[in-house]
Structure 1
Amino acid sequence: MPRLARLTPQTATGASRDLLTDLVSRHGQIGDMVATMAHSPAVLTGYLQLSRAMKRAKLSRKVSELISIAVQTQQGCGLCLESHISAAFALGIDDEEIDRARTGTSADPGVAAMITLGLQVYREPTSITDEQILSLYDHGYSEREITDVVGVVSLNILTGAFNLVAGLTPHRPSSGRRP
């Protein structure tokens, strides 16, 4: 049960009304999270800017989604987890690889190393070592891709924490693939 009301361009005020009006005019509709984030124009603007910026990330979408699945499994946001699992399926990632991501690993050692980094950024960034970063270079990752992991995790923390506080959960039956 949602704890915060979903806003519309008609019910929002000030900057939030402007943001929602623009989003609805460009996309036709907006999701529950965005409509609820509109209670704080600062939070909504921050989310929109970070989300847009991460679309320009160098890190592959596959690795990004697997990191997101690992982080959301830990954070416990069912809405985010469902969304990232659906995105992973759309990218052609199979059930076994999604299950591995949920446990914090991958069949690919390089991807597993990036998932590990993402979970450390989420849980305990002070535990990241110089040797670990050097190992990521050995797997072929660039400084930009390693830096992108911090953005991916930050976006997941924001959306997951917001959805949990707002009480937003998946509200439709599963497609048969489990979140």
Structure 2
Amino acid sequence: MSALPQIEPADAMGAAADVLVQTRKTLGSVPNMAKAMANSPAVLKGYLALSTALSGGVISAPAREQLALAAAEYNRCEYCLSAHTFIGSKVAKLSPEEIERARHAESSDPHVAALLALSDAIARGRGAVDDTVLKTARAAGVSDAEIAEVVGNLALNILTNYFNILADTDNDFPAVTPHEQN
């Protein structure tokens, strides 16, 4: 059972009702994470705004899903790992092999592998990375815009990972559990 109540759209009032309507328009549905985030309409609005902004960036939707999978695995967030496995498979059309690779911050695509390695280094270093990490990413063709968006995507994923872990959000996706070790 979730540690935060999940506000059903039909029962929501005021700002929570408004942002849940916006959620359905933006995402096409209202997942349990959004229902829990609606306890603070500001948090849900912030999540939607950053997610929408990054979806218009230079990193492709499949690569964003791979970044989300790597972060969820690293942070051991079952809810996000389940959600992004489902979305990665059904929407972004990632193969089961690429989904598994992403969970290890790897990809068969060298450019995506460089994005994942950069994101992983940033997460593990809490923002501090060695100059060679950036040089390696740039040598693989990662642009300055992509470097900035990797940080943005990592921030978005940490928000959702930590929120769902703390809230113990009821999983509304086929369950995928983190591997034993990161």
Alignment TM class, shorter chain as reference: 0.7 to 0.9
Matched with 1:149 is 150
Q: Does structure 1 residue 118 correspond to structure 2 residue 127?
A: no
SS state at 2:8 partner: coil
Shift in Å, 1:111 = 2.2
Measured at CA, do residues 166 and 124 of structure 1 come closer, stay the same or move farther in structure 2, by a change above 3 Å?
A: same
Q: Aligned partners of 2:25 and 2:89: how far apart in 1?
A: 29
Matched with 2:36 is 36
Query: Runs of 4+ in structure 1 displaced over 6 angstroms?
Result: 25-28
Q: Deviations over 1:142-175 (max 9, x none)?
A: 111111101111111111111111111424556x
The structure number with the bigger radius of gyration is: 1
Shift in Å, 1:23 = 4.1
Same amino acid, percent of matched pairs = 35
Q: Aligned partners of 2:10 and 2:70: how far apart in 1?
A: 37
Q: Does structure 1 residue 160 correspond to structure 2 residue 130?
A: no
Where structure 1 has 5 or more consecutive residues not aligned to the other structure, the ranges are none
| Cα RMSD (Å) | 2.6
> Residues 54-133 of structure 1: matches in 2 within 5 Å?
54-90=54-90, 91-133=92-134
Note if contact 2:106-2:117 (Cα within 8 Å) is conserved in structure 1: yes
Note if contact 1:16-1:38 (Cα within 8 Å) is conserved in structure 2: yes
Matched with 1:19 is 19
Q: Aligned partners of 2:120 and 2:48: how far apart in 1?
A: 23
Shift in Å, 1:19 = 2.1
Q: Aligned partners of 1:20 and 1:71: how far apart in 2?
A: 25
Matched with 1:7 is 7
Shift in Å, 1:29 = 4.6
Where structure 2 has 5 or more consecutive residues not aligned to the other structure, the ranges are none
Shift in Å, 1:9 = 4.7
One-letter amino acid of the structure 2 residue matched with residue 104 of structure 1: A
Shift in Å, 1:31 = 1.6
Using structure 1 for the length normalisation, give the TM-score: 0.84
Deviates more, 1:19-28 or 1:4-13: 19-28
Note if contact 1:78-1:169 (Cα within 8 Å) is conserved in structure 2: no
One-letter amino acid of the structure 2 residue matched with residue 56 of structure 1: G
Note if contact 1:4-1:166 (Cα within 8 Å) is conserved in structure 2: yes
Note if contact 1:23-1:30 (Cα within 8 Å) is conserved in structure 2: yes
Q: Aligned partners of 2:28 and 2:64: how far apart in 1?
A: 27
Measured at CA, do residues 124 and 11 of structure 1 come closer, stay the same or move farther in structure 2, by a change above 3 Å?
A: same
Note if contact 2:78-2:177 (Cα within 8 Å) is conserved in structure 1: no
Shift in Å, 1:48 = 1.3
Using structure 2 for the length normalisation, give the TM-score: 0.82
